[in-house]
Amino acid sequence: MALGVVKDLDSGAAGARADGTAVDPIGGQRPPRWLTLRWIALVIAVGIAFHETLTSVVQQSLQGDPLAYLLFLFPAWGATIAIGTRARRQPNLPIYDRQLDWIIAAWLSVILLMVGNMLLPRLGVTEQLVRLDVFALMLFMMIGAILLFGTRATGSYWATWLFLACTWPLPYRLLGAALGGTTGAFAFINVGLSAIALVVAAGASVRMRIRSAGLALLAGGLTYFVIRSQSSVVVQILPSLMGLAVGGGDALRRSRRARKRRWQKRPTAVTKPVLATGALLAFSVGLSLFLSFSPATLSIASLPSVGAGWLTGPTQLSSWTPTTFSSYSWAPQYFGREAVWLRYWYRSADYPLGPALVADVLTATTVGPFQVYPSVSCYRLSAPFVQATETVELGGGVQASLFYANSLQADSPIDAEWVMLTWIWRVPDTGNGTFQRVTLLSVDGTASRLGIPTPASPGTNGSLRTTFSDILQSTPSQAIPAPSSTAIDRLAAAGREIVSVQRSAAARSKVLRINP
């Protein structure tokens, strides 16, 4: 393409724009100014608008969640691809339009506000799995980039945006869980993503791409074997960074063109984005004041610490007799290496042919995955679920969430209805290191075990099913009938008794510790 024949054609504007910015002359040779300040402004704006998201990512990383990659690797991958793109691509066409920049940014801002105002509040149980706030953060960054650098400059890095969009937490987590959910699995994914980033970024020749990716895999793998006994965050992050550094450094060294262009200033349409910077910062302040994108993060300190937990067997209940139990081997894949899922079946003497009660007890050493894979994502549900708006008080500070089948979907609301009560607590005798999610399930009106949802690995299918169910379920035009009060009362009574038994056990344990 012969760029020489293309002119800046804002002829009537005489180079001046309403917002004080100017249009580049022919060929766009005017050097951009204040690029560093623009980047600083963008980072500050993101920090203001999404400080809750960033804080929650730090908190969850400390709770054992593999989200630390968002803090360390996300920017590194983005920068790598951006540098590669910049080194390779031809100069931008000097055709700019600030009016379009503002129109596009305004439209994207409306979409961002709709996501924050409408979609995020609808996400109930899957908000931690989906992490739409990260997606919103990227959308906000794109709006900022359009305002500060222009649509063309922003769009020319489309590969960077696409790569980052593909690595947001939902697909990242699903892939990690599919590979075993261990620290090693996530480290492997991170190294692999670094290699892919280098394939996208490095040079035009296939050979250079393969070489960079191979070096990244090699360096990442070696680093992993050296540090694999370190803390999980270090093991997940460092090999990937090392791979990026080695593979990227080699690509940069070998690419004469990249070296030559490394410090070459690129023209940009926006030479003095004073108004745009002000608007972006004001928007970020407005977002931080009036809109919260970040999902609620479970605080360990706020978890009730009730008793000895279910570590030694089923809790004995007065009106329910434990009959049998089963365990599920997939639990460590999603909830940590030491996670155990046990299902206890109870039968009531009052209802010899009546409904059964099951207690699913998930014990793990980290609490983060409980939020990512909520109870409803771990069952084969017979019908779409509904979460009750109010929690059920079980005593001792324990508040349980109530879920039930969307009865509108069932032929007979009574027969097909299942009810679920679930809560999380900390097992005190093990210090801060053991957590349990207890889920009580029952059916109403049938004695069949088949009516009770069966535990199933969240997996890709389960997680996506739950996510889509959560996102797409419409607001019903008629109220969904709540399950019969008998079923809720039965579960609540059992739940209260469990809490009570645990509290007594804790008291006995305390006495034993004092008087051994």
Partner 1 sequence: MTTQPHPLSSEDALAFAINGLTDRAPLLSAKTTLSRGQKITVASALTLVVASAIAFPHQTALGLVALAIFLYIANLTDRVWLFINGVERSPELRFTRAEALAIPDDELPIYTVLVPAFNEPEVVERLLVNLGGLDYPREKLDIKLLLEADDELTVSLAQDAVRAGVLDADVVLVPAAEPRTKPKACNYGLQFALGEFTTIFDAEDLPEPLQLRRAVLAFRTLPSYVACIQAKLSYHNDSQNLLTRWFTSEYNQWFGYSLPGLMRTEAPIPLGGTSNHIRTDLLISSGAWDPYNVTEDADLGIRLARLGYSTAVLDSVTLEEANSDPINWMRQRSRWYKGYLQTFLVHTRKPRDLVKELGWKGTLRFVTVTAGTPTLAMINVLFWTMALAWELGEPAFIRPLFPPWIFYPAMMSLGFGNSAVIYCAIVAARLDRNPRLLGACFLFPAYWVLMSLAAVKAFVQLVFQPSYWEKTAHGLDTDRDLTSTLTNEGVPSEQASSESGGATNGQVAP
Contacts to partner 1 by CB under 8 A: 1-2, 5-7, 9-13, 18, 93, 95-97, 99-100, 103-104, 107, 110-111, 114-115, 117-119, 121-122, 151-152, 155, 474-475
**From the CB of 104, what's the least distance to partner 1, in Å?**
7
- Choose between 119 and 200: whose C-beta lies nearer to partner 1: 119
| 3-state percent helix, strand, coil for the chain, nearest multiple of 5 | 55, 15, 30
- Choose between 96 and 370: whose C-beta lies nearer to partner 1: 96
- Choose between 122 and 503: whose C-beta lies nearer to partner 1: 122
**From the CB of 48, what's the least distance to partner 1, in Å?**
24
Asked if 472 and 126 touch (Cβ cutoff 8 Å), the reply is no
**From the CB of 107, what's the least distance to partner 1, in Å?**
7
- Choose between 25 and 184: whose C-beta lies nearer to partner 1: 25
- Choose between 175 and 464: whose C-beta lies nearer to partner 1: 464
Cα–Cα distances in Å, from 94 out to 6, 20, 267, 487? 8, 18, 8, 69
**From the CB of 261, what's the least distance to partner 1, in Å?**
22
- Choose between 17 and 211: whose C-beta lies nearer to partner 1: 17
- Choose between 290 and 489: whose C-beta lies nearer to partner 1: 290
Q: Which residues contact 234 (CB under 8 A, 6 or more apart)?
A: 227
**From the CB of 146, what's the least distance to partner 1, in Å?**
12
**From the CB of 78, what's the least distance to partner 1, in Å?**
23
Q: What secondary structure does DSSP assign to 39-88, as a single string? A: HHHHHHHHHHHTHHHHHHHHHHHHTT-TTHHHHHHHHHHHHHHHHHHHHH
**From the CB of 412, what's the least distance to partner 1, in Å?**
28
**Mapping DSSP to helix (H, G, I), strand (E, B) and coil, where does residue 497 land?**
helix
**357-364 and 340-348 strand pairing:** antiparallel
Q: What secondary structure does DSSP assign to 99-143, as a single string? A: HHHHHHHHHHHHHHHHIIIIIHHH--TTHHHH-HHHHHHHHHHHH
Spacing of C-alpha 358 from chain mean position: 30
